Amino acid sequence: MQITSAMSNALQGIQKGLTAIDKNAAQIASADNFNSENPVNSAQALVELQNNRTQVEVSAKVLKSVDEAIGSLLDVVA
pLDDT digits (tens, 9 = 90+) for 7-63: 999 999 999 999 999 999 988 888 765 565 666 678 889 999 999 999 999 999 999
What is the pLDDT at residue 36?
59
- Are 12 and 61 a contacting pair, CB within 8 Å? no
Chain centroid, CA 16 distance in Å: 6
What is the pLDDT at residue 22?
96
- The angle subtended at Cα 12 by Cα 30 and Cα 7, nearest 5°, is 150
What is the pLDDT at residue 77?
62
What residues does each domain of the chain span? 3-31+42-77
What is the pLDDT at residue 71?
80
> CA 9, CA 16: separation in Å to the nearest integer?
10
Alpha helices in 1-78 (DSSP H): 3-30, 40-77
